[in-house]
Structure 1
Amino acid sequence: MGAFGRPFLPSGIVATASLPFRRLNLTERRTLMHSADLDAPGLKRRHNKDGTTRFSWVARSDIAKAGYEPKTVRLHYNLDDPRERLLAEAMCRKLQAEMLAWRAGHRQTRRPFDGTVSSLVRLYQTDEASPYFELKHNTRETYDQVLRVIDRAFGKRVLSNLALADFRRWYEEAKKPREPDGPERVRKAHGIISMFRRLFAYGIAAEHAGCARLASILDATRFKQSKRRRIRLERHHVEAFIPKAIEAGRLSLALGTALQFETGMRQKDVIGEWEPHVARSEIGGIMLKGKRGRRMLRWANGLTWADLANTSVFTKETTKTGALVSHDLSLCPMTAALLAKVPAAAKVGPLIIDEHARRPYAKDAYAREWRVIARAAGIPDEVWNMDARAGAITEAEDAGADLDEIRGAIGHTQASTTARYSRGAVGKSRKVAELRQAHRAGRNES
């Protein structure tokens, strides 16, 4: 006997009171499978413009109006296939049971995994065991932007129905230029694929069905990445920038740029950043109200005048790797000259202060104001403030510094990372050429 007391027969076989068992033709089978005989509460059929049919589970209208989510779940099953038909029935019964339990008052604050991309995104962002909560706040904000794109574009897709072709198609669509003659957006497309990798890795750890299969597909597939940045801020750029910044009343921008270039420090480690501050009962330090009053922000991680007190040497823990770096500013002439211009009474608190706001620069304001001065100094728009670190590393290698020494000076944990920041340095090639010339000269003399 089959479910609900019906006799079990192989797919496509039917018996009546007057006829023996016989196999149905294709039309009869489809009629039977798409009829009310399906044990799939909430199943709805819709016709597409191209003549095909799509199936969805739809919540009862009265319960949906009361606030139940999800209201609709697309079912990517082929009901002509007996095995997929059983899966569709099981999914509908599961969704129906969850809806009725919600109506009866059993309402979970965290909805369970329902097999869709949207559900996986939601759990990745809300599950306390997710690696999402180990991310720094600024990284989390960046991830949130990509996750919103994924949820809007692919959220209703069921993981069990995804394949390599889907990821290839999504990648190709995402990298299309914004404008007809514009550049391909490879960085955006690759970022979406990278986020899928993170989602599936979390899904495997959380034991969500379908994630291991999709992770193995992406592990075995390569998608083109955007080219690595090759531009650097050079010394002549900094020398042109400093007088223009002073002329505009932006000593802070001149000092910050000189420090970044001469020490190789990241912008964030020099000027600091604004972090979300949740514990309102512990308000202290330099605080700033977030946009629309949502949350308080606290300034952190930047250089302060206390770091430079009574000596030209300072040590700082970097924000990205936690490595300790030390610098002797007496060997940084541009920085030392600018520090001397700051009045003694102003040498309190954060080192880099927005002259107009009288506090550390708000998010993105430093880069925005820096660009204004850079244009006045004739620095091309493709050269960014963040390129100061690459400029410092490249100049150091050109000067003959060993790559491992540079790595230690700027706080990288791996020399391979430092090598990526060296953009067009000729230090190594010059040394190799000199050794070859010396070798030739020695052979000629012998």
Structure 2
Amino acid sequence: MPSDLNAPGFKSKPNRDGSRRLYWSARSDLVKAGYRPENVRLPYSLDDPADRLLIEAACLRLQAEMLQWSANRGQPDARFDGTILGLSRRYQTDEASPFKRLKHNTQHKDVYTLTLIEKAFGTRSLAALKIGDFYRWYDAAKKPKAPGAPERVRRAYGIIKKLRELFAFGIMAELPECARLYEILARARFKQPARRRIAMELAHVEAFVATALEMNRLSLALGTAIQFEAVLRQKDVIGEWEPIPKGEGTTGIVLNGRRWKNGLTWSDLAADLVLRKATTKTGAYAAHDLKLSPLVTALLARVPPAQRVGPLIVDEIAGRPYAESAYGREWRIVARAAGVPDGVWNMDARAGAITEAEDAGADLDAIRSSAAHAQLATTLRYSRGAVGKSRAVATLRAAHRKAGTGTEQP
């Protein structure tokens, strides 16, 4: 922490472009005891004197809340001051809150949006809010980040969605004004972000794999190939880092108080290269015969037999599974070198696989099963611009017309 800052818990880390990302970090002993949030990003700059004051204010507030939690032995402060900030803090600390039942990564995303809300209008009294306030906040949040940039509709809608969830919790907690505000937002309509329409294509995957091998990043090549060929989410391939529950030992692969889990291991492939895995999102089983994918088998053959133990995807530089966000960051470096457009994301591999399958004429229910989706509607959302079904329909119509021309007329 810079010596002239009065900002307890303040930390910063360098970015690749030379800038620094700033955040507040809770005490590790209290995090182990269950305190959340663990880290809070600070959208400020150390070079701006005005921002330095905001950094100090944010860190002092977050530090005070953490110490209050510690003084109460983890029990939330029962008081509610009638503001959005008070509601947000109650939502995050009340043991009966839905927030406490979310997975850790979802909580992390929640805290990011809640921090935006608290910073922008946390001091506003619930009793004073009207529908005009919500429309004004939505319009302000969707403004482009820079002149000429696209509107940030997803950001704005996410704030409104989170406010709805806050007021729903407030109703359950019997807090004043929440029922009125929930009813207002239930009837109000806000433009939603458009569904993503981009899909990764086979040409993207092949170019990426070739470039990753040239750059000695076999892990990235193998991870991407399996995502695309086995229709798996990134998390189900590379795994994730979850906080170690209180009282549990530090067994397994541990990094900074978190344990690696849910990623593919060599034992998931078995001797016959048939991958069987329970997916993290729904628990549904995915099963794929990787022998039918030469792209994957060629990459697997590059791994010496002696190394075929433990996690399947291992960061070559760190010698362990990829740390949080590192896979996506390193993936983009290789993707740019391979000529994959920035608009194509790693997460688009799953959509690309489903789109390719439909174009190939695969039965939609078979595609659903292959993707381990519980509902066909979910599979259809992943199909982006596929023409397989419409091509089949056009073929049948053409055959019908041809048959019709040969029919004798009375």
Smaller-chain TM-score range?
A: 0.7 to 0.9
Once the two structures are superposed, residues 263-283 of structure 1 have per-residue CA deviations (whole angstroms, 9 ceiling, x without a partner) of 110000000011111436511
Which letter does structure 1 place at the counterpart of 2:384? Answer: R
- Decide which of 64, 73, 94 is 1:127's aligned counterpart: 94
Counterpart check, 1:230 vs 2:197? yes
For residues 206-285 of structure 1, what are the structure 2 equivalents within 5 Å? 206-279=173-246, 281-285=248-252
* Equivalent-residue separation in structure 2 for 1:202 and 1:438 (angstroms): 58
Give CA-to-partner distance per residue, 1:287-320, whole Å, 9 cap, x none: 001xxxxxx0110000001111212212111111
In 1, Cα distance between equivalents of 2:76 and 2:340: 53
Could you give the per-residue CA deviations for residues 318-339 of structure 1, whole angstroms, max 9, x where no partner exists? 1111111111111112111111
The aligned amino acid for 2:212 is: A
> How far apart are the structure 2 equivalents of 1:201 and 1:438?
55
Q: Which runs of 5+ in 1 are unaligned?
A: 1-66, 70-107, 290-295
CA deviations 1:160-212 (Å, max 9, x no partner) are: 21111010000001111111222111111001000001101111111111111
Name the structure 2 match of 1:379: 340
SS at match of 1:245: helix
The equivalent of 1:80 in structure 2 is: none
What's the TM-score, normalizing by structure 2? 0.80
Return the match for 2:385 from 424, 438, 441.
Answer: 424
SS of aligned partner of 1:176? coil
TM-score of the superposed pair, with normalisation by structure 1 = 0.73
- Matched to 2:83, the amino acid is T
Residue 298 (structure 1) aligned with residue 298 (structure 2): no
The Cα offsets for residues 337-356 of structure 1, whole Å up to 9 and x where unpaired, read as 11111100110100000001
The reply on whether 1:178 has 2:139 as its aligned counterpart is no
The CA distance in 2 between the partners of 1:372 and 1:285, in whole Å, is: 30
Q: Over residues 241-265 of structure 1, what are the superposed CA-to-partner deviations in whole Å (9 max), with x where a residue is unaligned?
A: 1121111111111110110010110
Residue of structure 2 equivalent to 1:337: 298
1:57-98 Cα deviation digits (max 9, x unpaired):
xxxxxxxxxx999xxxxxxxxxxxxxxxxxxxxxxxxxxxxx
Q: Which residue of 1 aligns with 2:307?
A: 346
The 1-side partners of 2:77 and 2:395 are apart by: 66
Q: Secondary structure at the match of 1:326?
A: strand
- Shift in alpha-carbon separation, 1:280–1:362, aligned structure 2, 3 A: farther
Q: How does 1:72-91 map to 2 (within 5 A)?
A: none
Structure (1 or 2) with the larger CA radius of gyration: 1
Indicate how the Cα distance of structure 1 residues 244 and 214 shifts in structure 2: closer, same or farther if over 3 A, else same. Answer: same
2:373 is aligned with 1:408: no
Deviation at 1:114, TM superposition (A): 2.4
Show the counterpart of 1:144.
111
1:111 Cα deviation from its structure 2 partner: 3.4
Superposed CA deviations along residues 352-407 of structure 1, whole A, max 9, x for unmatched, are 00001000011111111111111111111111111100100000000111222111
Identity %: 61
CA distance in 2: counterparts of 1:198 and 1:281, whole angstroms: 32
2:181 is aligned with what amino acid?
Answer: L
Amino acid at match of 2:372: G
For residue 195 of structure 1, give the secondary structure of its aligned residue in structure 2: helix
1-side partners of 2:136 and 2:76: how far apart?
A: 35
1:417 deviates by: 1.2
Aligned length: 336
- Give the Cα separation in 1 of the matches to 2:360 and 2:270: 30
| Cα distance in 1 for residues equivalent to 2:311 and 2:360 | 32
Q: Distance in 1 between matches of 2:144 and 2:78?
A: 37
Task: Say if 2:275 is the partner of 1:314.
Answer: yes
